[in-house]
Amino acid sequence: MPKDKLSTYYLLAAEGAHLEVVQFLVDEVQADVNNADSSKQTSLHVLAGVERETQRHIQTMAFLLEKGADPNAEADDQYTRTKYYNIIQLC
């Protein structure tokens, strides 16, 4: 799979908190858990940026942290970063 498509699928799966898809992409296809979009948002930032985080979002964030996602990654968006640091405490 081309790397740019893998990155797109991975970030979309993370944003939707599709844990099983994220697990597959990370474990089987070796998606980079620290991949960032053009705004420097990683999957953790994307998860934190959703309007209503659910238990699935928190579980997906916990999985990514276990797999080495960088909790200190900086995004360009101040709102996302602030919300991210508040949510990361739940994981």
Contact 41, 71 (CB under 8 A): no
| pTM confidence score | 0.79
CA-only gyration radius of the chain, Å: 12
pLDDT tens across 51-88, in order? 677 889 889 988 999 999 988 887 776 655 556 666 66
Distance between CA 28 and CA 38 in Å, rounded? 25
